[in-house]
Structure formats: structure tokens, C-alpha cells
Structure 1
Amino acid sequence: MKPRPRRGRRAGPIGAIALVLLFLGLFVVGMGLGAATGFDLGDLFRGPDKPPPRSFPVLEPSRPERLEIPSIGVSAPILEVGRANDGSIDVPPLKRHNEAGWFDGGPTPGQFGPALIVGHADTRTGPSVFHELNELKPGQEIEVAREDGSVAVFEVNTVEKFDKDQLPMDRVYGDYSRPSLRLMTCGGKWLGGREGYADNIIVFASLVDSREV
């Protein structure tokens, strides 16, 4: 079992560089997430020098427990995923393909920065948790129930498809302007073999509200 994330962590330059190096590795092939290579590290995953104006909610760290996306019928537990043996981002095991995975090396949903939740689109036996992710529309809501009894409410900004080799790293992982959420799965044309799907489907969403359960 992976240890729970430390509460109240802050993004620092060393930790930021480590996170970028992690994301620049190969994503898990079985999920169809692509290789994100050839990007300048720059200031990716570097937290803000000073907090931005707080004209929006900001939450303290708390582990996410459940994901709700009513518009596409998603209601799923969230487990923690870390690094796979090859150094890539891990994903939920196939036997738990209807659960989502929060990357525990990044922010928790509601903190400043982009929290990352990944999920399978399908398996050989049928659709999985993020099968309909590309059907989401701007303005629709995503809710994340957290361990502290709060629910972080996000609003979809965009849903975009990227070639696996052309992920916009600064947009996906480097946006520390406000609390945000990234949902990621595979999509596009099935290439087969070790390549899996040709593209990544990424939902960009921003925290707009919170409430108690």
C-alpha cells in the first residue's frame, strides 16, 4: 500500500523538477497514454512565487475519495497511483478499470495547481470509467469528494485531444494560476501492439466551488 500524501506540502524548485522529469517519461502503454518527450523543462511544475489573487475557492490538501461526473454517468471511487516500475505514471489495475486514479505526487484536487486523475477508456471486455470522457462539454461540472468531508466542484473549461508525442506540458502540468483539475485517458485511433491508442484525451477544469458532504 502506498503511503498517504503529506498534508500541507508546498511546491519547491527541487520537487518541481522531479515532478517534471516524471511526467516527461513514458506514460503507461497499456492505458494508451503517450510519450511526452522533447519538451523544455523551463518552469513547469514550479509553484507561484506569491499566491495569486484569491477570487476563487482554494482548499487545503486532502486525499480525493470519489469522482462524480453526472453528465456522462461517472460515479467512481478514486485510488492513489504513483510511479510504475519503469518510472512512468501508474494507472489503476485492469481488475479495477472502473475506478479512477489520482496521481499522489501532485496537488490534491482543490489545492493550487493541476491535480491529475487518470483512468482507462476501455479494456478487452468493454468500456471503462473514462470511456465517455470526450463527451464532456465546457461548463459541465465535475465533483471530487475528499477525505476531509468536503466536495471540490470543478467546471470544465475545455476537452482536447493531443497526439501522444505532442502533449502541451506547460498547459497540462505547469498551470499554477489557480486550483485546477486534469482528467486524462486514451483516445483516437487504435494503433495496436505496444502503441495502444494514438492520442490522449485531456479535460481541463477549474475549481469553482466547494461544499461539505
Structure 2
Amino acid sequence: MTTDQSSSGKGRMLTGVAWAVLLLGLWLWGRDLTDGPGGSAAPTTGDVAAVGRPLLQVELPDAHDPVAGVRPGRVDIPSLGITAPVSARGLDGTGAVDPPPYEKPREVGWFGDGTRPGASGVALMVGHVDTQSKPAVFYGLSSARPGEQVKVTGADGSVTEFTIDDVQVFSREKFDAKKAYGPREEGRAELRLITCGGTYDHAAKHYTANVVVSAYLTGAAEAPATS
């Protein structure tokens, strides 16, 4: 083996290790997301039978080329009536991505060490489904359907628009981090929105599943010029 081949092999190995570590953290994240107060008695997964089922006669637009991506400041899902501020979140002491605090139930967390919305890859956002007493920001997320829009406004005022192309529920026991967080199509700019799903297990004190909404970039507008 030549020196160049050896270096290339080591690079691929390190990349694989980094990906495995990231997936482990995201798997823990997916599990931790199901831990919550379970205060709301209403269903948290909407029409479970429809989640993940392709809808007929839904014509999806072409993907927009990835852009540079910026730090997100707000996310809007008009069809669900969701408008929420976005804050960057890191990892907690266990290596899992730290969701927004329960004291801020209307806030969405973005994995700040990952992809920025609009850039090539998968940008990850998470929000709580409820608190002890009321619904939280992603309470209605499972009602999202393919073809609906998600708009992310950057801290600089730019807007990236995503189109939902898939909604799935992953059970806690069979959570697949690569399938949930990996790209659906290589080379696209994608977005994942994640919250709790299934039912609340009061004995175990966690939800039984995660709702994962997948979307891809279909439009981008630069920040308005300042005078």
C-alpha cells in the first residue's frame, strides 16, 4: 500500500468513525426525545394510520440546489399554524442532543453542530409535543402531510423554503437513527423535524415513539438589502 493509499484509507476510516459517533448521539437523542411529562391527554400522533402512507395525487416540486445556509432564527409551518423561534442546541452529558428546556415549550431546537438549513445535508430540528399542562410547539406535527411547506428564516433575514415529502413514526424500541436522520437523497438540502409520538407510558415515564417529518429545499431567498 502506498502512502497516499494509506492516508486515504485512514481518512475514510475516520469519517466512518465520526459518522458512527454522530449516529450514536442521534439515537440517544431520539430516545431522549420520548422522555417527557405527558401532560396532554389528547393523541400525540394524529392519524397514525396515515403517517408514512404516501398520499395520492400529490405533485412535489423539484429540489432547489443547496445554498450556503445560515443560522436559523424562526421556523414556520403555515398549514399547522406553527411559528416558533429557533435556538441552537448542543449535546448533553450523555452525548445526546439537548432539546429545548420545558420552560420554553414554544421553542424549537436546532442541532447547532450539524447542517445549517439550506446547506447540503440534513438540518435537524426538535421540539416538545407537550408539557405537564398544555400542548407544546410540535403538538400537531404528526398532522403534517407531503406537499406542505416549512419556511426557515435565518438570523440574517434570508428565507429557505422546504417541502415535506415524508412523515413517519419510529417506535422507541426500533428507532433507526440512520433512517430517521440520514439523507433521503444524496446531494439535496434536507430538513428533519422531530417530536414525541405514540402514547405516553406513565409507568416508564416516556413516550413510545418519535414523529419524524422529512422535507427538502425547494426555494431560497436572500436577506433583504439594508440601506
Q: Following the alignment from structure 1 to structure 2, what is the Cα–Cα distance between the partners of residues 82 and 94?
A: 16
Report the Cα offset of residue 26 of structure 1. Answer: 5.2
Report the Cα offset of residue 25 of structure 1. Answer: 2.8
Give yes or no for the alignment of 1:18 onto 2:26. Answer: no
Give yes or no for the alignment of 1:60 onto 2:61. Answer: no
Structure 1 length as normaliser, TM-score? 0.78
> Any conservation in 1 of the 2:166–2:214 contact (CA below 8 Å)?
yes
| Number of residue pairs matched by the alignment | 183
Number of the residue aligned with 1:121: 129
Number of the residue aligned with 1:161: 169
Once the two structures are overlaid, the 10-residue window that deviates more, 17-26 or 71-80, is 17-26
* C-alpha RMSD of matched pairs (Å): 2.3
Give yes or no for the alignment of 1:143 onto 2:151. Answer: yes
Report the Cα offset of residue 27 of structure 1. Answer: 4.1
Report the Cα offset of residue 85 of structure 1. Answer: 1.6
Q: Following the alignment from structure 2 to structure 1, what is the Cα–Cα distance between the partners of residues 218 and 203?
A: 40
Q: Following the alignment from structure 2 to structure 1, what is the Cα–Cα distance between the partners of residues 22 and 33?
A: 22
Number of the residue aligned with 1:92: 100
Q: Following the alignment from structure 2 to structure 1, what is the Cα–Cα distance between the partners of residues 187 and 169?
A: 22
Number of the residue aligned with 2:116: 108
Q: Following the alignment from structure 1 to structure 2, what is the Cα–Cα distance between the partners of residues 29 and 23?
A: 9
Structure 1 gaps of 5+ residues are 1-11, 34-53
Q: Following the alignment from structure 2 to structure 1, what is the Cα–Cα distance between the partners of residues 181 and 144?
A: 20
Deviation per CA, 1:57-104: give whole Å up to 9, x if none. 211131111000111110000011111122211111111110000011
Q: Following the alignment from structure 2 to structure 1, what is the Cα–Cα distance between the partners of residues 117 and 203?
A: 34
Once the two structures are overlaid, the 10-residue window that deviates more, 15-24 or 79-88, is 15-24
Give yes or no for the alignment of 1:185 onto 2:195. Answer: yes
Number of the residue aligned with 1:5: none
Q: Following the alignment from structure 2 to structure 1, what is the Cα–Cα distance between the partners of residues 29 and 191?
A: 21
Report the Cα offset of residue 120 of structure 1. Answer: 0.3
Structure with the largest fraction of strand:
1
- Consecutive aligned runs of 4 or more in structure 1 exceeding 6 Å deviation: none
Structure 1 residues 139 and 167: CA distance shift in structure 2, 3 A: same
Q: Rg: which structure is higher? A: 2
Structure 1 residues 103 and 55: CA distance shift in structure 2, 3 A: closer
Structure with the largest fraction of helix:
2
Structure 1 residues 26 and 207: CA distance shift in structure 2, 3 A: closer
Identity %: 34
Once the two structures are overlaid, the 10-residue window that deviates more, 203-212 or 159-168, is 159-168
The letter for the 2-side match of 1:62 is: V
Structure 2 gaps of 5+ residues are 1-14, 37-61
Q: Following the alignment from structure 1 to structure 2, what is the Cα–Cα distance between the partners of residues 170 and 178?
A: 16
> Any conservation in 2 of the 1:78–1:102 contact (CA below 8 Å)?
yes
The letter for the 1-side match of 2:111 is: F
Once the two structures are overlaid, the 10-residue window that deviates more, 185-194 or 129-138, is 185-194
SS at match of 1:25: helix
Deviation per CA, 1:86-126: give whole Å up to 9, x if none. 22111111111100000112101111111110000000120
